[in-house]
Amino acid sequence: MRLLYSFTTAAGLALASLRAHKLRTFLTLLGVIIGVFSVVVVGAAIEGLGAYAEQTTAKVFGSDSFQIGQLLQVGQMSRRERLEKLRTNKRIRVEDYAYLKQVSGREILYSPYRQRGEDIKHAGVTLEACAVIGVSSELEEIRDFVLTEGRFFTAEEERTKTPVAIIGEDVRTAFFADASPIGKQIKLGGYDFRVVGLQEKIGSAGGQSQDRVAFIPATVFNRIYGPERSMLIFARPRPESGLVLEEALDRARVALRVRYKTRPGAVDNFDTITPDSIREFINRILGVIGAAVVPITLISLVVGGIVIMNIMLVSVTERTREIGIRKSLGARQSDLMLQFLLEAVMLSLLGGGIGLAGGWAVAAVATAISGVTLKVTMPYVFLALGVSSVVGIASGWYPALRASRMNPVDALRSE
């Protein structure tokens, strides 16, 4: 009962002091508000970018697919490593694609993937530097292709080299902003193509728009641009095969190792990549960013704590006579200690609450404007509020201790 009375009395006196000096209280709060706000917004941005990167990776790469190529890299690769891979790794050719389909095509879906930069034209308008990609009809299933209009081209259209195309959102906006693109004609590589499908909007990946694109049958691509020295192969296990991604990848690797006569125990003389390796790389990059940025934002909380400590020391000096009167009337050291400590903690938690609300509001506005979901997650909330609470206790401890140890006679004599 005594403890509860002491706590409520100390809390009431602390609140009264804060209300009596509103401007000073607000200025004191600013450091903590900015610190918590920064931590919450930075954390939301990191989590949001991670989720956006994963969604984009799934759309561009597929959720259960893998790639095979001469040189595939995730992250930085030194010039020496790159040259070594180009020297030792085999070029993936059309014959290798046909071999893989023959050996394991009943269990695994395969699609060639050849890309070329090309201008696309329609009705006198030119959209420059688009990605024209030659693939098979099976890419729709391999990559979980989502179309907002129309359809993907068929195996028959691929076999007969029919000039049809699936376009991205940027191409539609440039040429058919107010009408459906299905059935319309576009020109690329000097040939007319009929648009049969519209890919859903994907956004950017690796700093490049994934919507400035046109997918055409690989057979048509080869006819226009000729055979290429190397290509990529997209693949995934057929749903009816019962294989998981790792098993399908192992079977494809074994088939190519046999074809390339790779010695037992030697590393693959070709590259493979899966969505997991891309996600791992993205998470590693975001982890590095978080490890570098979050501590910097926490420094503002430490600065806020220093401001609170200075203000509390000023407050103790200003209220020396009040402290003397309370002590002479029977207040114990613990009562004064609790009063000033609560005042510092209240400042810190109030600033933390305002900073948290501001960070949440900014994350919501940024999400609505940018289209990238900034996720305010509980770990960053607990981190911000936890650090602000520790800062409040640490910054209020010394001023509270100084107030509690004052001699009542000396305190009453002060002016």
**How many other C-beta atoms lie within 10 A of the C-beta of residue 64?**
18
In 3D space, the residue among 376, 359, 298 whose CA is nearest the CA of residue 46 turns out to be 376
pLDDT of residue 148: 92
Q: Which two tokens stand for residue 311?
A: 């203000």
CA–CA dist 48, 286 (Å, integer)? 10
CA–CA dist 63, 77 (Å, integer)? 25
Q: Which two tokens stand for residue 347?
A: 């400042």
pLDDT of residue 35: 79
Domain ranges of the chain: 2-56+280-413, 66-273
CA–CA dist 10, 335 (Å, integer)? 7
Element (H, E) at 50: helix 22-61
Contact status, residue 247 vs residue 260, Cβ threshold 8 Å? no
CA–CA dist 56, 146 (Å, integer)? 13
Would you give the distance in Å from CA 349 to the centre of its chain?
29
Q: Which whole-number Å values give the CA distances from 332 to 16, 323, 324, 327, in the listed order? A: 20, 11, 11, 7
Tell me the percentage of the chain whose pLDDT exceeds 90: 27
CA–CA dist 124, 362 (Å, integer)? 43
**How many other C-beta atoms lie within 10 A of the C-beta of residue 308?**
27
CA–CA dist 225, 235 (Å, integer)? 23
pTM for the model stands at 0.68
List per-residue pLDDT tens for the chain, 415 residues long.
555 545 565 566 656 666 666 777 777 777 778 878 888 888 888 887 777 777 776 666 777 889 898 888 665 666 787 787 778 888 898 899 999 999 998 999 999 999 999 999 998 899 998 999 999 999 988 887 889 999 999 999 999 999 999 999 999 999 998 889 999 999 998 899 999 999 998 877 656 778 899 999 999 999 998 877 778 999 999 988 889 988 999 999 999 999 988 888 888 888 888 887 777 777 777 777 777 777 777 777 777 777 777 777 776 666 666 666 666 666 676 666 777 677 777 777 787 888 888 888 888 888 777 766 777 777 777 777 777 777 767 776 766 666 666 666 555 555 5
Contact status, residue 292 vs residue 82, Cβ threshold 8 Å? no
pLDDT of residue 89: 85
pLDDT of residue 119: 92
List the beta bridge partners of residue 135.
Answer: 113, 217
3-state helix, strand, coil split of the chain in percent (to 5) is 60, 15, 25
pLDDT of residue 207: 62
CA–CA dist 41, 75 (Å, integer)? 26
Burial 345-382 (b: 16+ CB within 10 A, else e): bbbbbbbbbbbbebbbebbeebbeeeebbbbbeeebbe
Condensed to tens digits (0 to 9), the pLDDT of residues 177-205 reads: 888 999 999 999 889 999 999 999 887 76
**How many other C-beta atoms lie within 10 A of the C-beta of residue 128?**
11
pLDDT of residue 411: 53
Would you give the distance in Å from CA 299 to the centre of its chain?
23
